[in-house]
Amino acid sequence: MKTNQVNRDSFFEVDAMFRTQNLKKAQASLADQGQGYLVHVWSSWNERAATFAKQVEGDGTTLFQSEFWLSTWYQTFTNTAETQAVIVAVEDRQSGKLVLLLPLAKRLEMDLSIISFADFGLADYNAPLIDPHHQFDPQQLNGLMRDITRSLPAADFLKLEKIPDHINNVANPLCALKDLQNSNLCHFGIEITGSWEDYWNTLKRNFRKDQRRRWRVLEKKGEVSFVWCRDEKDIKALLSTLMTQQRQRLAGLDLPYLLDDPHMKRFYEQLITKGCSKGPVIFTALLVAGQPVATLCGFGNGSHYGMTVSGYETGEWSKCSPGRLLTERTMQTLHQHGYHYFDFTIGDEPYKQYFAIEQGTLHEVCRPLSWRGLPRYFWMKAKAVQRQSALVQSIKNRFKAAT
């Protein structure tokens, strides 16, 4: 333990020496090439970053790169010695305005120093914050990304994962990078342009019939009520229920529970209890005779809703599928409040295909930053090639269907 602590301390001391040197080299390189951009690297979520995030929120951010999400994330995780904030800001040289922000962080993973998005498995999408009115030339962007890479603190590996094609309706500039690879993750969503009834009638008849049957089974167990929770005291109680439901379900699958980590648990507790009153967090639940049988936490911006964390009772409640019923009621309620896009985020759980018909692929970029990062780089490249192989995918699909 003592040796590891010394290594971590030495790691961050050396990093502090290299950060300024690399940043000066990158800025000098950009000036020489005349690309018209300045690159800044900040070691904290400062006022300028927060101001830019608020200015572009909605059109220039995903639900997981809002100012509220990022400020809570950095406050929670970068107060420890294991994690360092690495916020890359790209400024237009002519106007002096920020046009892009990469919310990154650095920490040690299996003796490698990794720079990745501010995520740690908590965000479903990772993307830069962008000025939606600024146009990046794809060739220029690749040159800019090389200089951004040079400006990063000394590290072994750059790992950018879960990158979507678009940031709302704006093309994601990271998707123009030449070394972009498809991820093994996919996401589902549906845009409802008309009435709820019109959308509901487009779904499979057997599914709609089955939903009605499950509602009847649930109602026989007691009085059913739907709750859109905004009271902090009630939210804390429901959040505790959600975590218990998730923990029990994952234990049955012999999988670890992410929120058992104290930092991750504190992040979600702060995010949800504060966010419900401020608006971006939408916490709903389905109660039977006052007992919460399904819970759902998501994020919204008035028109776009993303589902992130859910829990539901199992055992005798399985016949009712309370989680699926809560999804239906939450979507219907939010549609009445002006929401038209419903994002089921990452994962290919079968129930999503009942509600959503649009499937999208996510992407990733990985780059070695030192010789120590080369083995990880070649391993990830090999995985990417495997994913793109039609033969390998066919074998995987057949095995999945057989099991």
> Per mean pLDDT, which range of 42-56, 182-196, 246-260, 304-318 is the poorest?
246-260
**pLDDT, position 334:** 96
352, part of any domain: no
Using a 10 angstrom Cβ sphere, with 0-12 exposed, 13-18 middle and 19 or more buried, the burial of residue 126 is buried
pTM of the entire structure?
0.81
Going by pLDDT thresholds of 50, 70 and 90, the confidence category of residue 102 is very high
- pLDDT tens digits for range 345-358: 988 788 888 987 78
Q: Which of 137, 80, 77, 71 is closest to 101 using CA atoms?
A: 71
In this structure, the answer to whether residues 181 and 198 fall within a common structural domain is no
Given a contact cutoff of 8 angstroms between Cβ atoms, the answer to whether 16 and 57 are in contact is no
Task: Note whether 153 and 292 are same-domain residues.
Answer: no
Phi, psi of 190 (to 5 degrees): -145, 135
Q: How far apart are CA 113 and CA 97, in angstroms?
A: 31
pLDDT digits (tens, 9 = 90+) for 173-197: 999 998 888 888 888 999 999 999 9
10 confidence band (pLDDT: 50, 70, 90): very low
Total domain count, the chain: 2
pLDDT tens profile 193-234: 999 999 999 999 999 999 999 999 999 999 999 999 888 788
Length of the chain measured in residues: 403
Whether 319 and 221 map to the same domain: the answer is: yes
Amino acid identity, position 70: L
Tokens 């033969």 correspond to 391
Average pLDDT of the residues of the chain: 84
Would you say residue 165 lies in a domain? Answer: yes
DSSP annotation of 314: -
Same domain, yes or no, for 89 and 202?
A: no
| 165 and 299 co-located in one domain | no
CATH of the domain at 329: 3.40.630.30
> Does 32 score more than 90 pLDDT?
no
Per the domain annotation, does 346 fall within a domain?
A: no
Number of other residues whose CB lies within 10 A of the CB of residue 50 = 14
Q: Judge if 139 and 235 occupy the same domain.
A: no
What is the reported pLDDT for 403? 57
Q: Is residue 355 part of a domain?
A: no
Q: What is the mean pLDDT of residues 57-84?
A: 89
Q: How many other C-beta atoms are found inside a 10 Å radius of the C-beta of residue 129?
A: 26
402 — pLDDT class (breaks 50, 70, 90): low
- The answer to the question of residue 345 being in a domain is no
Q: Is residue 26 part of a domain?
A: yes
Q: What are the angstrom distances between the C-alpha of 391 and each of 251, 319, 378, 382?
A: 34, 38, 21, 15
Q: Is residue 351 part of a domain?
A: no
Both tokens assigned to 354: 């009942």
- Whether 215 and 97 share a structural domain: no
Kindly give the pairing relationship between strand 83-92 and strand 224-229.
Answer: unpaired
- Percent pLDDT > 90 in the chain is 46
Q: Which two tokens stand for residue 356?
A: 């959503």
Residue 242 has pLDDT above 80, yes or no: yes
| pLDDT classification of 280: cutoffs 50, 70, 90 | confident
Please give the residue range of the domain that contains residue 27: 2-185+362-402
CA distances for 380 relative to 364, 365, 371, angstroms: 10, 10, 15
- Contact between residue 162 and residue 364 where contact means Cβ atoms under 8 Å apart: yes
Strand partners, 92: 37
Residues 397 and 380 in one domain: yes
User: Residue 330 pLDDT > 90, yes or no?
Assistant: yes
- The band of 98, judged by pLDDT with boundaries at 50, 70 and 90, is very high
> Which residues make beta-bridge pairs with 288?
224, 291
One domain, residues 204 and 305: yes
Identify the residue whose tokens are 């389905």. Answer: 286
Does residue 96 sit within a domain?
Answer: yes
